[in-house]
Amino acid sequence: MRSDIIKQGYERAPHRSLLRATGVIRDEADFQKPFIGVCNSFVEIIPGHAHLNKVGEFVKQCIREAGGIPFEFNTIGVDDGIAMGHEGMKYSLPSREIIADSLETMARAHCFDGLICIPNCDKIVPGMMMGAMRVNIPTIFVSGGPMAAGRTAQGKAIDLVSVFEGVAQHARGQIDAAELQELEQEGCPTCGSCSGMFTANSMNCLAEALGIALPNNGTLLAVSEKRKELYAAAASRLLDLIKQNIKPQDIVTQRAIDNALILDMAMGGSTNTILHTLAVAHEAGVNYSMQRINELAQKTPNICKVAPSSSYHMEDIHKAGGVHTILWEIAQMQPSILDLDCLTVTGKTLGENIKEWSVREPHSPAARAYEADLAANPFRERQRDFDCIRPLERAYSPTGGLAILYGNLAPEGSVVKVAGVAEAMKQFEGKAVIFESQEEACKGILAEEVQPGDVVVIRYEGPKGGPGMQEMLAPTSYIMGQGLGESVALITDGRFSGGTRGACIGHISPEAAEGGPIALVKSGDLIRIDLLKCSLELLVSEAELAQRRQLWQLSARKRQRFSGYLGKYAALATSAATGAILKW
């Protein structure tokens, strides 16, 4: 075992003495068992993580019962919703690198034989994935689960985005203080990752298709007692993976990443998944490009729409069969676009998992359980389930829920959640209204400086320029809350929350701080967006752009040098087109 490095032989007597002092070693036999690192992201200020201390205790118990010795350690976490709208959001994406470094440091310093990772939200999931790819020891991911949707007194399903949009509605006098307070009090009713197909839930679902998490990891609610069965199964499977020496890089191949991104396109996941998947691929040693993502999008139908793109939430996906039912539907395409032979942590292939876990696979255990549940709950609406995850013949769109746009404004690419864009906005041309930061944009939008027909440009918010590539949930929610969702577009070198909807294009590369074309846009310039052709164009001549490029120079604000971790991050961060990984 790898852990023998710290526990076997007479020269390791000091190491064993220290291990005894932890209280984790109960008898001499424990030194003969695998040492398992339990990487937990429990922090009390994030609702998706507030319950993970209890999850960690249960997982450790399950590891002991399976024959391993658990050692729990924690990572940091940033709650994007709480960090939103102030300087704290600059630390969100950079926290991903700290989390990856922390996992790597703990696993290599203490010679664990395997890892169980317990993430749940936003940057924490990909951060752990990146670290796990680096250390490359047997690992299983098991999330804390999604939050239940909130309900108003009238029974309307709501979530965190409803609250953000409520702020703009209240500012315009469309709802009163009592209605806003109801949204605030009911929008986030339980612990768990926010209830829509936002970044956290997108990444936890992708973990299933990627093969590093067990079925139901992404959709089973945080408050469900059945999650205990998932935790116990993960502990048992990890011990098997250690015996078989199956490691993350054996599972996370280019074909597996294809499968994960096909799921992403089929369910209209967060645009942040592109950023994070590219970073995970890099750590796994897989050369993966934005262009390949577009190729997958062009042949993957969008068969599932979840909030913010519809009124459905994660609990609806779970009731309809979960991730493996989405994959089952896509697997019916001829020729198949999924690689069903990819290995997963179940010990079976993805194709075998789909046959067992899809409610649409005839006679599967999942299908039998689904039919029994339907019989026991006559008020369950089968049609609602089959609208949440549609069959191929009723797909929302013949192409994926995400797209990569190129053009003279984004030579290295940009990202949009097509599934959240109204048909009327898929081809759009408008005048640029420029803001040099997210904060300026929020003030300007609420002050009604943006009118129908405009293209809002928020720049100097990329990985280097922000620094930290802030999410833009506040300005996009204000646009929707003011009723401009079908008449105003927004483009940025920053990024969006998974809760964003509308014609919002992010990750524009190169970013403004590196002199990318978005830095050259002037107020009133015409910008053309064509999602059907995957293009983003600034309607200015090349000669004019060349002249502007010569005159362009960073203002005093843009030349600002940041101190502390943000300064280090700004110096090392790369383009969003490469996953905003750090290079030195």
**Domains of the chain, CATH where assigned:** 28-149+189-376 (3.40.50.2300), 157-187 (no CATH), 403-578 (3.50.30.80)
Residue numbers in the known binding site are: 80, 122-123, 471
The average pLDDT across 359-385 equals: 81
Active-site residue set: 497
Question: What pLDDT sits at residue 481?
Answer: 87
Q: Please check the confidence at residue 110 and state whether its pLDDT lies above 90.
A: yes
Q: Which of 381, 419, 409, 353 is nearest to 535 (CA)?
A: 409
Q: Where does the pLDDT of residue 371 fall: very low under 50, low under 70, confident under 90, or very high at 90 and above?
A: confident
List, for residues 244-264, the tens digit of each pLDDT value.
Answer: 999 999 999 999 999 999 999
Asked if residues 401 and 417 have their Cβ atoms less than 8 Å apart, the reply is yes
* Gyration radius of the chain over CA positions: 24
0.85 exceeded by pTM: yes
Question: What pLDDT sits at residue 202?
Answer: 96
Q: Where does the pLDDT of residue 556 fall: very low under 50, low under 70, confident under 90, or very high at 90 and above?
A: very low
Question: What pLDDT sits at residue 545?
Answer: 95
Question: What pLDDT sits at residue 273?
Answer: 95
pLDDT: which is higher, 579 or 376: 579
Question: What pLDDT sits at residue 558?
Answer: 52
Polymer length of the chain: 584
CB contact set of 187 (below 8 Å; sequence gap of 6+): 150, 158, 159, 160, 162, 163
Q: What token pair was written down for 242? A: 């250690």
Question: What pLDDT sits at residue 370?
Answer: 87
The average pLDDT across 216-227 equals: 97
Question: What pLDDT sits at residue 379?
Answer: 65
Q: How far is CA 219 from CA 65, 142, 203, 206, 339, in A?
A: 26, 11, 11, 11, 22
Question: What pLDDT sits at residue 19?
Answer: 98
The average pLDDT across 491-507 equals: 90
Q: How far apart are CA 366 and CA 356, in angstroms?
A: 6
Percent of the chain with pLDDT over 70: 97
Q: What token pair was written down for 139? A: 């690992």
Q: How far is CA 87 from CA 465, 487, 582, in A?
A: 13, 29, 21
Percent of the chain with pLDDT over 90: 87
Q: Which residue stretches of 139-217 are H helix?
A: 160-171, 177-186, 199-210
List, for residues 134-188, the tens digit of each pLDDT value.
Answer: 999 999 999 999 999 999 999 999 999 999 899 989 988 999 999 999 999 999 9
Q: Which of 279, 258, 382 is nearest to 330 (CA)?
A: 258
The average pLDDT across 544-554 equals: 87
Q: Which of 307, 310, 358, 304 is nearest to 331 (CA)?
A: 358
Q: Please check the confidence at residue 553 and state whether its pLDDT lies above 90.
A: no
The average pLDDT across 273-284 equals: 97
Residue numbers in the known binding site for Mg(2+) are: 80, 122-123, 471
